[in-house]
Amino acid sequence: MRVLMFGWEFPPHITGGLGTACFGLTKGLVKNGVDVIFVVPKAFGDETKDGFRLVNASDVILDFTSSQTKEFWEKIQFMEVGSNLVPYLDPEEFERAVIQERLIEKTETHSVFSKQYSFSGKYGPNLMEEVSRYALVASSIASANEFDVIHAHDWLTYPAGIAAKKISGKPLVVHVHATEFDRSGEHVNKPVYDIEYQGMNEADLVITVSNLTRQIVIDRYGIPAEKVITVHNAVEPVDRPELDGVTKHVKEKVVTFLGRVTYQKGPDYFVEAANKILKRDSNVRFVMAGSGDLLNKMIRRVAQLKISTKFHFTGFLAGPEVDTMFAMSDVYVMPSVSEPFGISPLEAMRSNVPVVISKQSGVAEVLQHALKVDFWDVDALADAIYGILHYEGLRKMFVRYGKTEVDNLIWENAAQNILDVYNKAVKI
C-alpha cells in the first residue's frame, strides 16, 4: 500500500498537536509496511524522515503548458494486391505500388511558463492564499507519483487532497483533527467551514480522532454516519533517562497547563482554579506554557487576582522542552472547552505525571486513570488538582496505572486502524 499524504507541519517545526500526530502516525504506518509520501508546504531540512519520503512543496516547479493543433499532409505508400486472384497464380503479378496523401492533425504541447511557489508553512495573514496554492502543487505531485490512496490532514490540506483525487482518480481519506466549531465555538469562520465541508463531502471516507468529533462531523456537517470512522490518537514512547535528574529549582508543587492559550483550550478556567487553590495552599506554583490570542488577557487576569508571584508564563514550548516541563510538574491540567482529542495528557502520563482533564475532550474516551471534570466547573477543577497535590495515595495510583495505560496507546496500533480505513477506501 502506498499513500500520498498531505500535512501542514512536521516536527520539529510544529505549533501544536497536529504535527505531532502526523509524525507518530507516519512512523506507525511505516512499521505496518505502508509506503508513505508525506508532503508539507515547507520543509526545513532537519525533519526526521526514517522510512518514508518527505516532499517539500516549495521545491515543486509547476509547468504551465499550452497545446496547439497543426494540420499537415502525410504521404503513405502501400502495396495493392489484385482481388481477382486465380488459384495457383503467383500473387506478385497482381501487385502494384500505390501512393496516397492524407490530411492529418498533430497536437503539440509546449511550456508557456513555469512557476514555483515558496510557502511559509505558517498560519499567517495570507493563509488562504497558501492553502489554494498548495492545492495547485498537490495536483502536480499527484500526476508525477504512483500511489493507492490520498490522506489529507485537517482543513488546510483538504483542497490539496481534492485536487490530487481529481487528477489521479484515487480515493481520498480526510483526517479531522479539529473542526471550526472546536476552534471558534458557535462563531465559525465561514470560509474555513466551507473548506471543511467540501473536504469531508468529497472524501471517500472521513477519519475523526474521537467519537466526540465524529458526532460533530455528522451533526454539524451532515456527513453520513457510515462514512465517518473514529481512530483515536496515540503517543510516541520515549526513553530519556536524563530527565530523571531534572530539578524544579522551586520548593513548591508545580501545576502545569500546556497548550495554545486560546478559547478552545480553556486557559481562563485554569487561572480561576489556580486562584481558588492558592487561597487554600500557597505552597503551589502554576505554569501556563504556550502562546495564543488570550495570553495577554490571562496575564492581566493573573495580575488582577494578585497571584503573579505564584504564576509563570513560559511562552511556546516544543520538543525536549515539553518533556523537561513535564519532568518538573506534579500535576498536568487540560481544561479544554472543546478538545477533539488532546495528546498532551498522554505525554504527561508517559512522564509519570497525573492529569486532570475536561470531560469535553476526546482523550477522555480512552483514559481510565485520569481525573475528569466539566471544563466550566472551576470548583470541581480546583478540588481535583488539590486532591492530587495533597493525597499521596491518590497521586501514586494515577501515576502507576496511568503510565501502564498510556504505554499501550501507541501509534503503531492506531496506524493499523488507519490501514484498515485505507483498504476500505480502495474497495469503495
The string of pLDDT tens digits covering residues 357-388 is: 999 999 999 999 999 999 999 999 999 999 99
Please compute the mean of the pLDDT values over residues 124-144 and round it to a whole number: 91
CA pair distance 278, 253, nearest whole angstrom: 11
User: Which domains does the chain show, CATH number per domain?
Assistant: 2-60+118-234+413-427 (3.40.50.2000), 64-112 (no CATH), 241-409 (3.40.50.2000)
Please compute the mean of the pLDDT values over residues 228-241 and round it to a whole number: 84
Phi, psi of 113 (to 5 degrees): -165, 160
What is the pTM assigned to this prediction? 0.83
Element (H, E) at 82: none
Phi, psi of 140 (to 5 degrees): -70, -45
CA pair distance 232, 247, nearest whole angstrom: 33
Angle between helices 190-202 and 211-221 (to 10 degrees): 100
Give the model's confidence band at 51: pLDDT under 50 very low, under 70 low, under 90 confident, else very high.
confident
Strands of 117-232, DSSP E = 149-153, 172-176, 205-208, 228-230
Cα–Cα–Cα angle for 409, 413, 414, nearest 5°?
85
Which ranges constitute the DSSP H helices of 231-318? 267-280, 295-304
AA identity, residue 57 = A
Q: 2: which 3 cell numbers?
A: 502506498
Res 108 pLDDT > 70: no
Q: Give Cα 235 to chain centroid, integer Å.
A: 14
pLDDT tens for each residue of 194-205: 999 999 999 999
Q: 296 in the Ramachandran plot: left (φ > 0), alpha (ψ -120 to 50) or beta?
A: alpha
Based on its alpha-carbon atoms, the radius of gyration of the chain, rounded to whole angstroms, reads 29
- Mean pLDDT (the chain, rounded): 88
Predicted pLDDT of residue 258 = 96
Q: Give Cα 361 to chain centroid, integer Å.
A: 17
Predicted pLDDT of residue 46 = 81
The widest CA-to-CA distance across the chain, in whole angstroms, is 119
Q: Quick one: DSSP state of residue 84?
A: -
Phi, psi of 284 (to 5 degrees): -140, 140
Give the model's confidence band at 139: pLDDT under 50 very low, under 70 low, under 90 confident, else very high.
very high
Q: Quick one: DSSP state of residue 170?
A: -
Residue with cell 474497495: 427
- Contacts with 222 (C-beta within 8 Å, 6 or more apart), sequence order: none
Res 82 pLDDT > 70: no
